[in-house]
Amino acid sequence: MDAVQPAYWQHMVASAQGKQSSRSARTSGESARWDDVRLFLALYRERTLGGAGGRLGLDASTLSRRLVAMEELLGARLFDRTREGLLPTRAAELLMPAAEEMEGAQLRFTRQASSLEVAIEGVVRLSVPPGVADVFVAPALVRLRARHPKIRIELDGSIRVLDLTRREADLAIRIIRPESGDLVMTKLLTSRWVAMTSYEYAEELGRVRRLEDVRWIAWASDLAGIGPARWLQKHVRADPVLVTSHFAAQISAAEAGLGVALIPESYARVRPLVPVRFADAVGSAIAEWPADDTWLVGHRALRDVPRIAAVWSFLLEELTDAGGRARPSPGKRRGDRRRSRTPA
């Protein structure tokens, strides 16, 4: 790869400039590092320093310095800095196909190298949605450790969707089935979102006849398009008592009795939450509670790599039909059993 990279970059930069500058000529003996190509691709795709930094795990100031150094090395300006973000120059547009080709070669090399593995050891990177990550996956890792002590897990529990085809993660749990990429997947479970709260507040509410009589916990505008947020927008006219897109905060607030949140029903078996009872008068709205399929997804080329296969099998065993047999997380204490029963 290293021997090929300079030829791509120098040729494309020279084409972008219309001639090979003296600075470009001086780079003929230098290698375009793969890290620089990754940086360029992230900047091109995200169009902001913050977005690219989040993808690469770098802060904006570090990324800015590296961009300047790369532009100086190449002798070409790659991005115009504007208030709206980064605008690719003609040089960047000409470099993009070569950079993508290099990315593809690097991914193929990594996949083929991984296929040579025999031992069940090494790092497996998981991308898991908030809530599922901290309530179901993280507590289960102690059992994975007992079974495969040489596997190390890197767990990304953010709302950001990592790209498996670009090896940003090895395995992912998704609530939306991917429609593109050379991926393999299996459905773990289907879970309905239901109104849940603490035992005490559920007893206080009794059987709810009007949705406006409930203190609702709602999603912020950045997640207004997800199923539970759309249900609240359609059926609830009252102002929410709490607005947050931090799912763990919603669960904690509901457990404390602040209000009622729409939460996948499987959480009632691992957290001190109970479903709210509703009268027939609001039955039509309750019938529209959203449901999500949960998928385990991986790259086809990595599926049989021993460490990937081991974690795949473990997650399948732990999470399939988790609504019926999920193990309590450490946060659910024995003393919570009374509070977790359905109000009379």
Q: What is the pLDDT of residue 151?
A: 96
Q: Residues 283, 318: one domain?
A: no
Q: Residues 302, 287: one domain?
A: no
Q: What CATH number is given to the structural domain containing 126?
A: 3.40.190.10
Share of the chain above pLDDT 90, in %: 51
Instruction: Give the count of domains, the chain.
Output: 3
Q: Cα–Cα distance between 159 and 293 in angstroms, integer?
A: 17
Give me the domain span that covers residue 65: 5-114
Which 8-state DSSP code applies to residue 334?
G
Q: Residues 53, 81: one domain?
A: yes
User: Mean of the pLDDT values across residues 274-278?
Assistant: 96
User: Mean of the pLDDT values across residues 86-110?
Assistant: 85
For the stretch 233-258, pLDDT in tens is 999 999 999 999 999 999 999 999 99
Q: What is the pLDDT of residue 332?
A: 44
Instruction: Give Rg (Cα) of the chain.
Output: 25
For the stretch 201-234, pLDDT in tens is 999 999 999 999 999 999 999 889 999 999 999 9
Q: Residues 251, 307: one domain?
A: no
Q: Cα–Cα distance between 11 and 19 in angstroms, integer?
A: 10
Which 8-state DSSP code applies to residue 209?
S
Q: How confident is the model at residue 9 (pLDDT cuts 50, 70, 90)?
A: low
Q: How confident is the model at residue 88 (pLDDT cuts 50, 70, 90)?
A: very high
Phi-psi region at 235: left, alpha or beta (left = phi > 0; alpha = psi -120 to 50): alpha
Which 8-state DSSP code applies to residue 136?
I
Enumerate residues 6+ apart whose C-beta is below 8 A from 328.
Answer: 269, 270
Task: List the structure tokens of 125.
Answer: 């990177």
CA distances in angstroms from 276 to 18, 219, 279, listed in the order given? 69, 19, 10
| pLDDT exceeds 60 at position 344 | no
User: Mean of the pLDDT values across residues 183-206?
Assistant: 94
